[in-house]
Amino acid sequence: MASNIAAKVFDSLTQPVKWLFFAGSGRFSAILVLIAALLLQIYDPPFLSNFRDRVFDYYQQSLPRVAAEPRPVVVIDIDENSLLNLGQWPWPRSYLAQLVKNATRKGAAVIGFDILFAEADRLSPDKISQSIPNLSSDIKTHLSTLPSFDSIFADEIAASRVVLGVSVSPEIDGANNYGMERVASFAALGKDPNPYLKTFPALIGNIDELDKAAAGRGMVSLDQDFDGIVRRVPLANKVGDRIVPTLALDMLRVATGRNVVIQTNDNGIVGFKIAGTLVPTDTKGRIWIKYSEFDPEQYISALDVINDTVDPARLAGRMVLVGTSATGLKDLRASPLTSNLPGVEMHLQLLENIWTQSYMFRPDYVALFEWLGTLLTGLTLIVLVPLAGARMTLGLLVFVGTVAVSSSAYFFIYHSVLIDVTYTLFASTLIYITLVYANYLSTEQERTRIRTAFALYLSPELVSRLSASPESLVLGGEEKEMTFMFCDIREFTVISESYKHDPQGLTKLINRFLTPMTGEILRRNGTIDKYMGDSIMAFWNAPIDNPMHPKDAADTALQMIPHLSKLNAELKIEAIAEERTFKPLRVGIGLNTGSCIVGNLGSEQRFDYSVLGDPVNLASRLEGQSKEYGFSIIVGESTAQHLAGYAMIELDLIAVKGKYDAVRIYGLLGGPELCEDPDFSAARKLVDEFLGHYRTRHWAEALELTAAMKEHNPRFDIFADMYKGRIEEFLQFPPPADWDGVYRATRK
Residues 271 and 156 in one domain: yes
CB of 542 within 8 A of CB of 557? Answer: no
pLDDT, tens digit (0-9, with 9 covering 90-100), for 159-193: 999 999 999 988 888 788 888 899 988 988 989 99
Per-residue 3-state assignment (H helix, E strand, C coil) for 290-355? CCECCCHHHEEEHHHHHCCCCCHHHCCCCEEEEEECCHHHCCEEECCCCCCEECHHHHHHHHHHHH
Closest CA relative to residue 324, chosen from 75, 565, 595, 26:
75
In a domain, 501, yes or no: yes
Residues 437 and 352 in one domain: no
User: Residue 459: what pLDDT?
Assistant: 46
In a domain, 458, yes or no: no
Residues 336 and 388 in one domain: no
Check whether 216 has a pLDDT greater than 90: yes
Give the CATH number for residue 508.
3.30.70.1230
User: Residue 587: what pLDDT?
Assistant: 94
Mean residue pLDDT across the chain:
86
Check whether 404 has a pLDDT greater than 70: yes
pLDDT, tens digit (0-9, with 9 covering 90-100), for 427-455: 888 988 888 888 777 666 666 665 554 44
Residues 154 and 263 in one domain: yes
In a domain, 205, yes or no: yes
User: Residue 144: what pLDDT?
Assistant: 65
pLDDT, tens digit (0-9, with 9 covering 90-100), for 37-95: 899 888 888 888 888 888 888 998 899 999 888 899 999 999 999 999 999 999 999 99
Rounded to whole angstroms, the Cα distance separating 632 from 626 reads 6
In a domain, 418, yes or no: yes
Domain of residue 419 covers 2-62+367-441
In a domain, 185, yes or no: yes
Looking at 309, 334, 356, which one is the last position of a domain?
356
User: Residue 13: what pLDDT?
Assistant: 43
In a domain, 522, yes or no: yes
Rounded to whole angstroms, the Cα distance separating 470 from 448 reads 13
User: Residue 197: what pLDDT?
Assistant: 93
User: Residue 360: what pLDDT?
Assistant: 87
Closest CA relative to residue 227, chosen from 329, 328, 342, 333:
333
Residues 379 and 333 in one domain: no
pLDDT, tens digit (0-9, with 9 covering 90-100), for 226-239: 788 898 899 999 99
Residues 127 and 152 in one domain: yes
Check whether 15 has a pLDDT greater than 60: no
pTM: 0.57
Residues 388 and 244 in one domain: no
Residues 28 and 157 in one domain: no
In a domain, 693, yes or no: yes
Residues 378 and 484 in one domain: no
Residues 603 and 555 in one domain: yes
User: Residue 145: what pLDDT?
Assistant: 64
Total domains present in the chain = 4
User: Residue 333: what pLDDT?
Assistant: 87
pLDDT, tens digit (0-9, with 9 covering 90-100), for 540-569: 988 778 899 999 999 999 999 999 999 999
Residues 540 and 406 in one domain: no
With b meaning 16 or more CB within 10 Å and e meaning fewer, what string describes 57-66? bebbeeebbe
Residues 326 and 394 in one domain: no
**What's the rounded mean pLDDT across residues 452-459?**
45
Looking at 304, 326, 356, which one is the last position of a domain?
356
In a domain, 208, yes or no: yes
**What's the rounded mean pLDDT across residues 502-520?**
89
**Amino acid type, 230:** V
User: Residue 458: what pLDDT?
Assistant: 43
Rounded (to 5) percent helix, strand, coil in the chain:
50, 20, 30
